[in-house]
Structure 1
Amino acid sequence: MPDNDRFLLKTILDSQQSERDTPLADSDAFDYFACEQILKRYDLSGDEVAAGIVDGGGDGGIDAIFTFLDESLLVEDAEILSDQAVANATRRGANLELHVLQAKQETGFGETAIQKASSSLELLLDLSLEEEELGELYAPVVIDRMGIFRRALKALAPRYPEIRIDFWYVTQGKTDVVGSTVKLQAERLVSQLQQVATGVEAAVHFVGSSELLALERAKPTYTLTLNFQESATSGASHVALVSLRDYVTFLSDGNGGMRRNVFDWNVRDYQGNVEVNREIRASLEGEGQPEFWWLNNGVTVICSKVSSQSKTYTMEGVQIVNGLQNSYTMHSALKGISEDDPVWERKVLVKILQTEEQEVRDRIIRATNRQTSVPAASLRATEDIQRDIERYFHTQGWYYDRRKNYYRNEGMPMDRIVGISFLAQSVMAMGLSRADSARARPSSLLKSDEEYGRIFHRDTALGVYLWAAKAQKRADAFLLDPSAGSSTQERTDLRFYVSMLAAAKLSGGRVRTPQQLGALVDGDRTIDEADLPECLGIVRATMAEMVNERGEARDKVSKGPDFVDEVLRAGGVNDG
């Protein structure tokens, strides 16, 4: 019988490759596709997916590593991982998840792949081993990505997190013919992972072409229904009392998690105030409590269209813009509670506001979240300059994803989509000559008012932002080309240095402000792909020198400001 699913999967992969300005190596394209589909419920951006891929020399049989805290992706500069982090800033019993993927373009599942990954995970998850020791066996990018989970596990230990580890073995084969010896290896790996810490839940998943196709077809939905008890209506907007049972059903994705895609990205990753979460949980669980909706501000939902019939709202284009703490605490607190418990009939207040005007939507997001403790940095995407950049990109056939994954869900070409973090890193590297910050502190660039103001400044022409995005995309594409001979680790460490040096040489000196790039935009001067090999050679040689002189790991060197100065000096760039 023909394997049509494998044929259809190849057709999809080929189609995606043809849409890329610079196609990936087939193995890299498969890695990316597998991660994107398996982690779809977390609504990761393209850059976030790519950052988790560790495939390459010294990977230990592991192709990708992702760590999540309460369903939010943890990155290397996350606050909870800093030396100044306070453990009790995170709720007790938080959900800490590790996803490890192995993706192979094979037509079956073998023992060797699991055995190799098992040996690596036994060492990588041994907290008694220092990262320096592990660095002798594995590539720095593997240590970095697994280090996020290791540090989170240590930091959260006083809060007794609920830990889950999932290993995904992905091929283009059929899962219904996995051999018994392979299944036995999987069972042994589950037992091994359960020993990482007391109470760890673990699972090994076999994913073949049929499963990948099913995941690819499962598009996120933004059209939802919500049952309600009582309501008041003014025009196309509504205020309703909704039972906790109906609201949790509205939130649930059918797999035990929340629909991450319906939370506006500005607030979805906000961990919230632990004391507030504790109070919400207490008001849910305690007997004799006042009505739940008396004790909090409820939830605000924006949608493009809403209709009501028989005490059910049908909404299109749903986005929850305020009430993440309420929603997450309700969803987690009610897990495991008997279906006939009276708590399910308590009520939450839900505001439903219909608007298709983006500016009105952004004003609602800012206004509702100003009344809570969501930090201003979480609301960056609602600012005028961000909307202006989005409009300008669109006029040039590019897509600025200030609303996370909006354009990807619209089916726009991935190579033409630029996220806020990617643009901030690109401008930091080329417009401020601070490739070290772009490499080491990607999420901090948006959190710091000072850094954000330097990157996104009203005096910077909109064309500069598109120029920087295109230049970084060009540098990244060059590094992915086999002719560059660049490993995953090298691309991670050097990508922003290559673009920084190329921009500085083109500008005739060190670039101090993004406004300086305006002259290149006005003169229609772009970074020539022919210049990138020379820039990479200079950056590589400088890295080798500093590693040799200091005896430090390459990833550590790439995160320091001294490396910036040495790269520019070696490239013959005057200090400006």
Structure 2
Amino acid sequence: MDKITKSLLDSFASENELGKLGEDKQFEHFANFAVISKLHRSSFELESVSTGAGGDAAIDGIAILVNGKLIEDVEELDDIVGEAGHLDCDVVFIQSKTSSNFEGSQIGSFIFGVKDFISDAPKMVHNEKLKSCRAIWDAIVEKSAFMVNRRPACKLFYVTTGKWIGDQNLVAVVTSGRREIEESGLFETVSMTPLGANEIQKYYHETRNKLSATINFQSRITLPDIEGVKEAYLGVLPYKDFMSLVQDENDAIYNIFYDNVRDFQGENEVNKKIKGTLAAGNFELFCVLNNGVTIVATSLTPAGNRFTLRDYQIVNGCQTSNVLHGSQAIAGIENVHVPVKIIVTEDEEIKNEITVATNSQTEVKAEQLEALTVFQKKLEQYFAAMKGDGKLYYERRAQQYHSSPGVRKTQIISIPIQIKAFASAFLMVPHAVSGYYGTIVQRFKGQIFGQDHKYSPYYVSALCYFRLEGLFRNGIIDVKYKKVRFHLIMLARMIGMGVELPALNSGKMDRLCDTFAKTLNDDGKCADLFRAAVEKIEEADFDLTQKQFKSETETMKLIDLFDAN
């Protein structure tokens, strides 16, 4: 391995606390992270895409991306497709070797493993992760009626530390394998990309860059000077240019709506009307009937009519963006012009004010605005104020800490993780946290991100998650218990804070959480706490051969153990 790749690998391993793993396994995670981050602009857990172990069918990483989101279980797929009404899928396969050579036999084994994975009846031995991914893939195929824009795209990446020189024999292996996968008829496109040291280094460096896009913004006016705003424009964008902001080169929608107060609402009345206007061919009316899209960027570089936006979010227009994305097959759609407002600012308070002020086309209740703007901002500040071993970073916006020096990836708590950890610890529903996190919030509406909630329960539930993951990494808690990690978080909270809880808005809750955080930040006490939680799992006689634990009955068994004692 060359010195530059080795240096990047060491840095990556340190940031992700992978020091106990061998170099080969570190490189697998490194390659998976670099490749998938190029295709998916949001944080994800390394283990959620790692398949490299016994029974991996020569596949070290898999990412199944649906409508711009990384899918980890069938329930999440159902939630996302059910809301959107369409299914755009990219399935990514990765094989990585620390070898400096590209070997035809290994490339062939990788291709064979992929062909077997997508076959009607796989013959190769699959580990638990591959079986889980296969279940998701089967569910995707069953939902082919929702593939209104395109069939899935299949992307294979073979990564080494060497140099790809286009050897004729290796090119023949790659070409033949790609054609065989194409012959399955399952995919819109199939690509096979060999990555050597130079390419994987470039991919990794790109993970540090913010999302950027270039548009032709000819029909615009410049808005007057606004305090705190570098520049602002109002105008219309041709359909093609607008879509370049919201989807990648494979027509997969970006995950750029984190600052939006709502996720895509699916087939509600407003969205039906938008799609109806398009389906009727009234393209010229779209511009005057639609309230438009508001885009906030950190920086903008103009070159005549060509504007390059960097680190941008759509803070209003999630519904419009998704409907337009799902209408690509409509003949003449390229004639649509989209009203847009582009605001360039680094001021977070101004971003929040814009978000609240511009979200009016679809009914939004005041508590929703509060929950996903002011509450989220204050929760981020609360995390930032905490010191010591329990220092965590609340990722309110996608990739906001990707290039922050001194921030280990393990310290970053994403919104989905926060919701699942809090619901497990304080709502005591670990069985109900599978699926898309937006659906989980709806399921427990009014119980998560309450305006008057203390921030401490959110922090300690995230700290529980962080500390438990560290115990898994260091071999203190057996990784076989990882499939019940949210049950362990609930149990740890019950052991550490008691079964009965004060109100989430009370001072007593703050005091209890403060004491609990001290326990979690003491290495010895924390390990003992989770060992006690594991004992409860064993006492309840959980069958750890199960893939998932979604039954309320299992949760109640654990709670009843405390009543019995």
**TM-score scaled by length of structure 2:** 0.80
Query: Letter of the aligned partner of 1:403 in structure 2?
Result: R
Distance in 2 separating the partners of 1:33 and 1:468: 28
How far residue 51 of structure 1 moved from its aligned partner, in angstroms, is 1.9
Match of 1:260 among 234, 237, 254: 254
Which residue pairs with 2:547 in the alignment? 555
SS in 2 for 1:98: strand
Distance in 1 separating the partners of 2:34 and 2:453: 37
How far residue 268 of structure 1 moved from its aligned partner, in angstroms, is 9.8
Taking a change above 3 Å as real, the CA distance of residues 169 and 299 of structure 1, as seen in their structure-2 partners, is same
Query: Letter of the aligned partner of 2:197 in structure 1?
Result: S
Which residue pairs with 2:421 in the alignment? 426
Which residue pairs with 1:206 in the alignment? 194
Which residue pairs with 2:132 in the alignment? 144
Taking a change above 3 Å as real, the CA distance of residues 476 and 418 of structure 1, as seen in their structure-2 partners, is same
Taking a change above 3 Å as real, the CA distance of residues 116 and 366 of structure 1, as seen in their structure-2 partners, is farther
SS in 2 for 1:554: coil
Which residue pairs with 1:454 in the alignment? 447
Query: Letter of the aligned partner of 1:522 in structure 2?
Result: D
Which residue pairs with 1:47 in the alignment? 44
Distance in 2 separating the partners of 1:55 and 1:48: 15
Kindly indicate whether residue 490 of structure 2 is the aligned counterpart of residue 500 of structure 1: yes
Distance in 1 separating the partners of 2:211 and 2:298: 13
**Structure 1 residue runs without a partner (length 5+):** none
Query: Letter of the aligned partner of 1:554 in structure 2?
Result: Q
Which residue pairs with 2:400 in the alignment? 406
Which residue pairs with 1:229 in the alignment? 219
Distance in 2 separating the partners of 1:458 and 1:271: 22
Contact 1:226–1:246 (CA under 8 A) maintained in structure 2? yes
Kindly indicate whether residue 38 of structure 2 is the aligned counterpart of residue 15 of structure 1: no
C-alpha root-mean-square deviation of aligned residues, in Å?
4.1
Match of 2:467 among 474, 480, 495: 474
**Structure 2 residue runs without a partner (length 5+):** 227-231
How far residue 430 of structure 1 moved from its aligned partner, in angstroms, is 2.3
Which residue pairs with 1:386 in the alignment? 376
Which residue pairs with 1:173 in the alignment? 162
How far residue 418 of structure 1 moved from its aligned partner, in angstroms, is 1.1
Taking a change above 3 Å as real, the CA distance of residues 453 and 574 of structure 1, as seen in their structure-2 partners, is same
Which residue pairs with 1:321 in the alignment? 315
Which residue pairs with 2:88 in the alignment? 95
Contact 1:510–1:575 (CA under 8 A) maintained in structure 2? no
Q: How many residues align?
A: 541
Contact 1:437–1:559 (CA under 8 A) maintained in structure 2? yes
Deviations 1:313-336, CA, capped at 9 Å, x for gaps: 565653222334555666787799
Distance in 1 separating the partners of 2:460 and 2:103: 46
How far residue 36 of structure 1 moved from its aligned partner, in angstroms, is 2.3
| Range moving further from structure 2, 392-401 or 312-321 | 312-321
| Range moving further from structure 2, 95-104 or 17-26 | 17-26
Deviations 1:293-341, CA, capped at 9 Å, x for gaps: 234333212235668785555656532223345556667877999xxx9
If each structure's helix is expressed as a fraction of its own residues, which one has the higher value? 1
Contact 1:303–1:355 (CA under 8 A) maintained in structure 2? yes
Which residue pairs with 1:37 in the alignment? 34
Contact 2:215–2:244 (CA under 8 A) maintained in structure 1? no
Taking a change above 3 Å as real, the CA distance of residues 539 and 67 of structure 1, as seen in their structure-2 partners, is farther
Match of 1:437 among 412, 432, 436: 432
Contact 1:228–1:311 (CA under 8 A) maintained in structure 2? yes
Contact 2:50–2:60 (CA under 8 A) maintained in structure 1? yes
Taking a change above 3 Å as real, the CA distance of residues 328 and 226 of structure 1, as seen in their structure-2 partners, is farther
Contact 1:41–1:260 (CA under 8 A) maintained in structure 2? no
Distance in 2 separating the partners of 1:307 and 1:77: 42
Which residue pairs with 2:178 in the alignment? 190
How far residue 475 of structure 1 moved from its aligned partner, in angstroms, is 0.6
Deviations 1:484-509, CA, capped at 9 Å, x for gaps: 452xxx35412223333333222344
SS in 1 for 2:519: coil
Contact 1:174–1:209 (CA under 8 A) maintained in structure 2? yes
Distance in 2 separating the partners of 1:374 and 1:57: 49
SS in 2 for 1:400: strand
**TM-score scaled by length of structure 1:** 0.78
Which residue pairs with 1:521 in the alignment? 513
Which residue pairs with 2:284 in the alignment? 290
Contact 2:257–2:315 (CA under 8 A) maintained in structure 1? yes
Kindly indicate whether residue 69 of structure 2 is the aligned counterpart of residue 72 of structure 1: yes
How far residue 459 of structure 1 moved from its aligned partner, in angstroms, is 5.2
Distance in 2 separating the partners of 1:328 and 1:530: 45
How far residue 405 of structure 1 moved from its aligned partner, in angstroms, is 1.5
Distance in 1 separating the partners of 2:458 and 2:8: 32
Distance in 2 separating the partners of 1:389 and 1:235: 31
Taking a change above 3 Å as real, the CA distance of residues 507 and 244 of structure 1, as seen in their structure-2 partners, is closer
| Range moving further from structure 2, 213-222 or 472-481 | 213-222
Distance in 1 separating the partners of 2:263 and 2:162: 36
Distance in 2 separating the partners of 1:493 and 1:376: 37
Distance in 2 separating the partners of 1:502 and 1:28: 30
How far residue 480 of structure 1 moved from its aligned partner, in angstroms, is 1.9
